[in-house]
Amino acid sequence: MRRRVVSANELRGQSPDQLLASITDFIYNNDIKDEQNLATPFEGKALAEGLERFVWLCPQCDHEDRLVTEGNTISCRACGSSWSIDPHCRFTSAGSSISEIGDLYDWASWHKRQVIEKLARTDSRTILATGERALLQIEDDEGNFIDHGYGSLSLTKEKLVFTPTMSGSLLQLPVARTDSFVFERKDIFECRCDGTLYRFVFSGRSPMKWVYYYRYLHNYQIHERNRFIR
Q: pLDDT tens-digit profile of 104-125?
A: 999 999 999 999 999 999 999 9
Instruction: Evaluate whether 166 touches 149 at the Cβ level (below 8 Å).
Output: yes
Domains of the chain are 1-30 (no CATH), 51-121 (no CATH), 129-225 (2.30.29.30)
Strand (E) or helix (H) holding 192: strand 188-193
Percentage, residues of the chain above pLDDT 90 = 71
C-alpha span between 155 and 168 (Å, rounded):
19
Instruction: Evaluate whether 32 touches 104 at the Cβ level (below 8 Å).
Output: yes
pLDDT of residue 122: 92
**pTM for the predicted model, two decimal places:** 0.84
Instruction: Evaluate whether 72 touches 80 at the Cβ level (below 8 Å).
Output: no
| Cβ neighbours, 10 Å, residue 103 | 18
Instruction: Evaluate whether 160 touches 172 at the Cβ level (below 8 Å).
Output: yes
pLDDT of residue 1 exceeding 60, the answer is no
| Cβ neighbours, 10 Å, residue 120 | 8
Provide φ and ψ at 133, rounded to 5°: 45, 60
Comparing 211 with 23, which gets the higher pLDDT? Answer: 211
| Best CA proximity match to 196, nearest among 226, 174, 227, 223 | 174
